[in-house]
Structure 1
Amino acid sequence: MTAPRDTPASRRIRANGDGTVYQRKDGRWEAAGYVLAVGDTRKRVRVYGSTRKEALTKLTEKIATSNRGVPAASAQGSVAAFLTYWLETVAIHRLRENTHTRYTACTRLYLIPGLGRKKLAKLTAKDVRTWLDQLRTTCQCCARGLDTTRDQPQCCAVGKCCSKRLSPLTLAYVHSVLKSALEHAVREEEIPRNVARNVRMGTPRPRRFEPLTTEETRAFLTATSGHRLSALFELALRTGLRKGELLGLRWEDLDLAGGTASIRRTLQRTNSGGLTALPTKTQSSERRIALPTPCLRSLEQHRDQQRQERDAAGAGWKDSGYVFTRPNGAPIEGATLTRHFTALLRRARLRRIRLVSRPGARCRDCSRSVSPDRSPNPPCASQRNG
């Protein structure tokens, strides 16, 4: 008589509904259980891991998500269903709020209309390439019906296409969002490979950035004379700090005696938290920079000016701790700063440019980086003067 096979402890002690965990013949561990599926049904899912704990953790996460009423994505389901699941249960916990908002808009405007009806399991690289090529050559006014919402139609509604195409940078962004979503589907073993990675998009050329010349910078600094944020604009021109980094500076970050500033955070507006201080975009963005001598003088004057504003505000002063604030001490909105900058450009009769340079932008006078803090080389005359 054959001896009964020993039942693994994981099968004996797990409660009904918790699923099963067992080791396969190939050495891997497999966990299986029932979760909520699309259409208010239930399906049995299987996950794998190199250890029992890894497989059990994966299954527990899926069951917990199911218990919250979120249906599990299925390779038999549509691309639209998986993208919705990914945005609502995965990406929302791993992306910054503003980034998640952009991902959601990209999915709603382009991914779901173009690929949403296809089955996730049957999506091919050819499908993705064909859709991207069509998106590249299709007028967005016609595709999205934008002309119907205009007071004065100027495209398809009048029988004349305006040929409004997506830029190469936007196309690359849409492609990257799709790759991120499908990469998660691979990690959850919904599909065997990320077909979007097999589609070549090419590297889009960034828009050429032309910072102010030496003469233009001098004219702008002259226009900022007497402005309560003149120290901010001088710091922006001489160091190339981003707008959020400038607004996120606190007095504790500045060492005026040593002539340095520590960049630790960025100030941004989010839908849920309003004006919020966030960590820098990447770990390498958190850094210490040397402050030019003119900036040290202007910052000292700005500190004295802020003390006078605090005395004048009295009990109405909001001690936010930021270097650059509103007259009552509250933080400054990024949009407000942009309006001030644009008004000063008009006052100086200069062309309109972005408030600060993008990382990697090149000086028009010497072709070097316009951000001295990001380069071991000393700034050129154009950067020293503005």
Structure 2
Amino acid sequence: MTTSRDTPASRRVRANGDGTVYQRKDSRWEAAGYVLAPGNTRKRIRVYGSSRTEALAKLTEKIAASNRGVPVVTAQGSLAAYLTYWLENVAVHHLRENTHTRYTAVTRLYLIPGLGRKKLAKLTAKDVRTWLHQLRTTCQCCTRGLDTAREESRCCAAAECCSKRLSPLTLAYVHSVLKSALEHAVREEEIPRNVARNVRNGTPRPRRFEPLTAEEAREFLAAASGQRLQPLFELALHTGLRKGELLGLRWDDLDLAGGTASIRRTLQRTNSSGLTALPTKTKNSERRIALPTPCLHSIQQHRSRQRQEREAAGKDWQISGYVFTRPNGAPIEGATLTRHFNSMLRQARIRRIRFHDLRHSAATLLLEQGVELVVIKELLGHAHIGVTATVYAHVRLRLQRDAIDLLSNALRDPAQIAGRPDGGDDEPPLAGAAVR
């Protein structure tokens, strides 16, 4: 009599709906079963493994996801179907809400119209390269029909193309979204490789910014003096905190006695929750920083002023716990802060900059004062020191040039310096210091 133990593993009968598993002639194991597919249909899929246990585990995972109502997209479907699945079932759980909104917009505006009809399994690097070149060279008014929707045509419909093309930074962002989606398809073994990674789009130039000089920074602080949000502007310039980090500061985050602040959250507006507190941009952005003495004095005065505003508001006061609030205690919108910032610049007749340029100004001024790059990286909350080095490469290059010139002056022949007639060189003579 033959028992279940005597039956080979590849021939054992599995329960109905559990799929089948058997060993192939190439010694690999193959498992097959029916799962939920896009369009509320059922489709048979096959997974492979080096052992029976591995193949069964992969099939069980896909069947479990199917039972939860998550469709399993196969490589035979279109890229548009996979992108929709990826955004709705994968990216939504791993991305911040605002980032997911941007990914969705990029997919709707560029990826699906350009590559959506391609089969996921048949997508090639040539297809991606051709599509990126088309995005780079095509006017968006013509491609997306923006001009035809206007009351008065002023582009292609009027035979006068405005040549509104995507910037290199936007093009690189669109390319990165496609790479992220295809990378997940590789991890799910839908495709063997990520063809988007084989396409070189070129490194876009970083966005240029013009930080405040030391003289301009002093003028800015003088203009902020007496403003209701003076402590916020001072903190932004002294510490380089992001706008959302400043607005998300709570009183329990501050240690005024110890002179420190803990950055734990960022205040942003989202489509689903409105103005809400979110985790910091990265794990390294959650940090503890030292507060300069002028900022401590301003914050203490700000707390006294806020108590007076609370007494004046009475029952209308909104308890939020934030350091920087509106006169009724409600949190401040990022757009509102930007309007106050631009208004102050106009009144003080300071050249117009972005609020984020205060962060760049703080880092640039620290570098010019000789502060080490790793200290600036910790203060700004960058994930890697390479980010700090890349963003402020122009400052480091200028400091290197100054250091090289200083060394060249120190290595000059003293006899030549002593024999030079007065006024023969614009550079002042260096003091006699030993070269170490």
TM range, normalised to the smaller chain?
0.7 to 0.9
**Aligned residue for 2:376?**
374
**Aligned residue for 2:196?**
196
SS at match of 2:147: helix
SS at match of 1:275: strand
| Contact persistence 1:239–1:373 (CA under 8 A) | no
After superposition, where does 1:223-372 map in structure 2 within 5 Å?
223-357=223-357, 363=364
Deviation for aligned residue 1:115: 0.6
**Is the aligned partner of 1:37 residue 2:41?**
no
Over residues 281-338 of structure 1, what are the superposed CA-to-partner deviations in whole Å (9 max), with x where a residue is unaligned?
1111111111111111111111111111122222222221111111122211111111
Deviation for aligned residue 1:228: 1.6
SS at match of 2:272: coil
- CA distance in 2: counterparts of 1:303 and 1:23, whole angstroms: 72
**Aligned residue for 1:384?**
none
| Contact persistence 2:248–2:277 (CA under 8 A) | yes
| Contact persistence 2:367–2:373 (CA under 8 A) | no
Deviation for aligned residue 1:22: 6.2
Deviation for aligned residue 1:367: 5.6
Taking structure 1 as the reference length, the TM-score comes to: 0.87
Over residues 317-370 of structure 1, what are the superposed CA-to-partner deviations in whole Å (9 max), with x where a residue is unaligned?
222111111112221111111111111111112222211238777638966899
Measured at CA, do residues 328 and 30 of structure 1 come closer, stay the same or move farther in structure 2, by a change above 3 Å? farther
Over residues 50-85 of structure 1, what are the superposed CA-to-partner deviations in whole Å (9 max), with x where a residue is unaligned?
777765554344334434554321211111111111
SS at match of 1:151: coil
Query: What is the identity, as a one-letter code, of the residue corresponding to 1:271?
Result: N
Deviation for aligned residue 1:8: 4.8
SS at match of 1:285: coil
Deviation for aligned residue 1:218: 2.8
Over residues 218-256 of structure 1, what are the superposed CA-to-partner deviations in whole Å (9 max), with x where a residue is unaligned?
333233233221110111111111001101111111111
Deviation for aligned residue 1:273: 1.4
- CA distance in 1: counterparts of 2:355 and 2:66, whole angstroms: 46
- CA distance in 2: counterparts of 1:288 and 1:213, whole angstroms: 27
**Is the aligned partner of 1:6 residue 2:11?**
no
Structure 1: gaps spanning 5 or more residues? 378-386
Structure 2: gaps spanning 5 or more residues? 380-436
- Cα RMSD between the aligned structures? 3.1
Q: Name which structure has the greater RCO, CA cutoff 8 Å, separation 6+.
A: 1
| Contact persistence 2:240–2:360 (CA under 8 A) | no
After superposition, where does 1:138-157 map in structure 2 within 5 Å?
138-157=138-157
Identity %: 77
Measured at CA, do residues 319 and 6 of structure 1 come closer, stay the same or move farther in structure 2, by a change above 3 Å? same
Over residues 14-68 of structure 1, what are the superposed CA-to-partner deviations in whole Å (9 max), with x where a residue is unaligned?
6422334567787876543211223443211233457777655543443344345
Query: What is the identity, as a one-letter code, of the residue corresponding to 1:247?
Result: L
Measured at CA, do residues 360 and 50 of structure 1 come closer, stay the same or move farther in structure 2, by a change above 3 Å? farther
**Aligned residue for 1:123?**
123
**Aligned residue for 1:93?**
93
- CA distance in 2: counterparts of 1:86 and 1:281, whole angstroms: 22
SS at match of 1:346: helix
- CA distance in 2: counterparts of 1:199 and 1:358, whole angstroms: 36
- CA distance in 2: counterparts of 1:370 and 1:224, whole angstroms: 29
Over residues 63-111 of structure 1, what are the superposed CA-to-partner deviations in whole Å (9 max), with x where a residue is unaligned?
3443455432121111111111111111111111111100000001111
- CA distance in 2: counterparts of 1:327 and 1:259, whole angstroms: 26
| Contact persistence 1:359–1:371 (CA under 8 A) | no
Measured at CA, do residues 370 and 209 of structure 1 come closer, stay the same or move farther in structure 2, by a change above 3 Å? farther
- CA distance in 1: counterparts of 2:66 and 2:125, whole angstroms: 31
| Contact persistence 2:29–2:55 (CA under 8 A) | yes
SS at match of 1:220: helix
| Contact persistence 1:289–1:373 (CA under 8 A) | no
Measured at CA, do residues 199 and 222 of structure 1 come closer, stay the same or move farther in structure 2, by a change above 3 Å? same
**Aligned residue for 2:112?**
112
Query: What is the identity, as a one-letter code, of the residue corresponding to 1:283?
Result: K
Deviation for aligned residue 1:151: 3.0
Query: What is the identity, as a one-letter code, of the residue corresponding to 2:107?
Result: T
- CA distance in 2: counterparts of 1:290 and 1:234, whole angstroms: 14
| Contact persistence 1:236–1:242 (CA under 8 A) | yes
Measured at CA, do residues 326 and 233 of structure 1 come closer, stay the same or move farther in structure 2, by a change above 3 Å? same
- CA distance in 2: counterparts of 1:56 and 1:357, whole angstroms: 55
| Contact persistence 1:363–1:370 (CA under 8 A) | no
